[in-house]
Amino acid sequence: MTGNDDRNGEIQALRERISALGAASLRVGSSLDLDTVLREIAESARVLTAARYAVITTIGDEGELSDVVMSGFTLEEERLLEAWNDSMKVFDALRDLPSALRVADMPAYVEALGFSTDGVLINTFQGTPMRHRDVQIGNFFLGEKEGGREFTDEDEELLVLFASQAAAAIANARTYRAEQRARAGLEALVETSPFGVLVFQVPTGHPVSVNREARRLMEGLRSPGASDEQLMRAVTCHFADGREIALDRFPLGSVLSDAQTVRAEEIVLSTPEGRSVTTLVNVTPIHSSDGAVESVVVTVQDLAPLQELERQRAEFLEMVSHELRTPLSAIKGSAATLVEASFSLERAEMRAFSHIIVEQADHMRALIGDLLDAGRIDSGTLSVAPEPTEVAALVDRARNTFVSGGTGHDVLIDLAPDLPPVMADRGRIVQVLNNLLANAARHSPERSPIRVEATRDGVHVAVAVHDEGRGIASEQLAHLFRKHARIGVDDAERGVGGGSGLGLAICKGLVEAHGGRIRAESGGPGQGARFIFTIPVAAVARDGAPGAGRGRTVAPFPPGGERPRILVVDDDPQALRVVRGALADAGYDALVTGDHHDLPALIDAERPHLVLLDLMLPGTDGIELMQRMSQLADQPVIFISAYGRDETIARALSSGAADYIVKPFSPTELVARVGAALRWRAEPRPFAVGDLAIHYDEHRVTVAGRPVELTATEFELLRALSLNAGRVLSYDALLRQVCREMFSTAAERNPFPAT
């Protein structure tokens, strides 16, 4: 009977192990969230083998350490493991296990490998690789079996079986995460597309997907209170060949059922109330397996901007023709007089005609130079060569050039003392100053003074040119820096040599090529104008944006080579496109959204390194979001906004923002400011207040020069409070920051066997 009892006991034990293995496999396979899967794997591995400690490590596609998850460790044990200097070396020795490894005396084993045993907390050890389709994706590391017993063959067999299930669960979770990211990226791309995108269901004709640009076009046609269905029935499509389709007579479902592929066809959409929009339409039917049309994708481009661009181009050509014709007529008339009446002219008269020819030829050369510069700015090929330069030297050179032209205006210079050198292409910045001085002279009474001032403005020097002229209406300020912009003055008032209308546009391009920005201010007609531009301080330009204007600014990647993820939140699709393009060109991984309700999920899923947040959003503002959304409290946030008032900027910075960028801004400035915020976050300066000093990089705290012993949790708590000095932190936000920093530090050091 004893033999039967033993066999029955073995069978029962086997059944229990199989049942436990099945339950563990079900738990790890019940979720597709990678963090949840890893936690379940660690807990299940510990339970299956009756181990006190469990650590799960995963390996990325390039063989790098990807995730470290622990189970069973106390905070004090974590602190001991963090202080173990040889933890990374032990991990390297164990990470590529070809098969399962059991050790009965772990301290002796570590010592035999040639490493210190200061951080070894276990005696018995079991290591098992996790493989999926013959590729190792991680390891189990288990320690200290209950009762001090050694790990057994049964434990090893159980772990080998569980490892295949765990590896498959990890691979599925990774695939799901990659698919979710790809889907989110595609949806964001469609939603922020500058083209309207509509997807219609056939045969009902109902729109199942409409992006933001399509909704904007529909709102331009919609009657007050009309639904989408009513709008669709009211629209008439006018084709270029004269055909018309009124959707109230031809149901949309029937039209779509016979839809053919259309490429770039110009169609005017109109309503009975007289609203209309000219569009360029593409139609792509999607067919089912039996060949029937089951859905139709329609892309619509609003042609109004292109028509406006064409109108501006025609005006520009007309303006250039007029500007060039004036000096050319003067040159031709003077030359003809010299040729036809050379024997009857006095020497002084001949000199006067020659002077006109030279003067007008110089004027034509300046016009052609303006045209070339404008073309380079538009094509992005304008180059500058910044070097450390004194502001006073630039202003003095521009003043001398301006005064030597015979102007009747005095130039009054007021430069703040101790201005730092700036990074400037001397010839180009002098060109900016000359254009602004000439513009001030054109629009000011004779003999009125023109003032030039310069002051320090954070990491820039701000240079301002004031005049006491006609002033500028507030509605015209936004249009001044466009090509051939006029300031409400007709040609008769400007007179000969009044300028090409390109001067201010060229100023904007040159300043932005240096990483600065330019703006205009005026109290209104009759109150003069003030033009202000900024140039980066030399030290900042060298550290933050080397060689501005010579090439794109490169993102400051961390040592591991990971592309910093930047989350951009803005309800303006054009702004999202510009910012995403600038960040992508600089090498950042840009994530964009126009809906602030997506922020918590995006931050939790993507874990961005920095958030670019529009100040004004539908139904809320960025400052309010920072105050009530705990996820934002963990992130460095840079506000982007068209509101440049000092009070608004001060309120945003007081709320805890890392920086504030005023629209419009150049890609160079955006990338430089993002890089500066990321560097500050990665390498914050030591914190000091009174006798307290916190050295973040050394994890050291002193009071009056005496060291203070702190646990890892205490140090991270003090770190979080000091980095957010002056801000109110909720309990949740503080807990998130402390836990994040502890796990992040542990993963970087890779203490074995805990994170």
Query: What residues does CATH 3.30.565.10 cover in the chain?
Result: 386-551
Q: What is the DSSP letter of 533?
A: E
How far is the CA of 680 from the CAs of 353, 434, 575, 610, in angstroms? 64, 38, 26, 11
Write down the pLDDT at residue 739.
60
Please determine, looking at this structure, whether the domain spanning 386-551 carries the CATH number 3.30.565.10.
yes
Q: What is the arithmetic mean of pLDDT over 396-407?
A: 78
β-pairing, 450-457 vs 411-415, is parallel
CATH of 687-749, one of 3.40.50.720, 1.10.10.60, 3.90.1570.10, 1.10.10.10: 1.10.10.10
Predicted confidence band at 743 (pLDDT cuts at 50, 70, 90)? very low
Cross-sheet strand order for the sheet of 706-707: 687-689, 692-695, 700-703, 706-707
- Dihedral sign from CA coordinates of 6, 11, 14, 19: negative
Tell me, which fold does domain 552-682 have in CATH? Answer: Rossmann fold (3.40.50)
* 423-437, 482-496, 566-580: least confidently modelled range: 482-496
544-563: pLDDT as tens digits: 333 333 334 444 444 445 67
The stretch 29-40 carries a mean pLDDT of 87
Task: Summarize the chain as % helix, strand, coil (round to 5).
Answer: 45, 20, 30
Least confident range from 28-42, 209-223, 470-484, 728-742: namely 728-742
Tell me what pLDDT residue 28 has.
80
Percent of the chain at pLDDT > 90 equals 10
For residues 263 and 25, the model is more confident at: 263
Which ranges in the chain are annotated with CATH 1.10.10.10?
687-749
Average pLDDT over residues 516-526: 89
Of 98, 97, 41, 29, nearest in space to 68 by CA = 41
The region of weakest confidence among 247-251, 447-451, 707-711 is: 247-251
Mean pLDDT value across residues 407-417: 84
Specify the higher pLDDT residue, 728 or 283. Answer: 283
- pLDDT above 90 for 697: no
Tell me what pLDDT residue 3 has. Answer: 58
Q: DSSP code of 124?
A: S
Rg of the chain over CA atoms, in angstroms?
35
Query: Side chain identity at 451, as an amino acid letter?
Result: R
pLDDT band, very low/low/confident/very high, at 495 (cuts 50, 70, 90): very low
pLDDT of the residue at 310: 83
Distance CA 408, CA 419 (A): 29
pLDDT in tens, 316-341: 777 677 667 777 887 888 888 877 76
- Does position 541 have pLDDT exceeding 50, yes or no? no
CB 646 within 8 A of CB 499: no
Confidence (pLDDT) at 597: 82
Q: Where exactly does CATH 3.30.450.20 map onto the chain?
A: 196-302
Cα(644)–Cα(626) distance, rounded to whole angstroms? 19
Output the average pLDDT for the chain: 79
Task: Give the confidence band of 17 by pLDDT, cuts at 50, 70, 90.
Answer: low
CATH (one of 2.40.50.140, 1.10.287.130, 3.40.50.300, 3.30.800.10) for 308-381? 1.10.287.130
pLDDT attached to residue 750? 44
Cβ atoms of residues 207 and 229 within 8 Å:
no
Q: Name the H helices within 103-227.
A: 106-112, 153-191, 212-221
Strands 616-617 and 610-614 turn out to be: unpaired
Contact 550, 384 (CB under 8 A): yes
How many CB atoms lie under 10 A from the CB of residue 594? 20
Q: Name the band, by pLDDT with cuts 50, 70 and 90, for residue 436.
A: very high
Give which of 612, 625, 536 is closest to 579, Cα–Cα.
612
Query: What band does 752 get if pLDDT is binned at 50, 70 and 90?
Result: very low
Mean pLDDT of 343-348: 70
- CATH no., domain 2-183: 3.30.450.40
Lowest mean pLDDT among 84-93, 445-454, 678-687: 678-687
Give CATH superfamily name and number for 196-302.
PAS domain (3.30.450.20)
Can you give the pLDDT at residue 546?
38
Q: What is the mean pLDDT of residues 21-38?
A: 83
Helix, coil or strand: residue 737: helix
Q: Count CB atoms within 10 A of the CB of residue 311.
A: 10
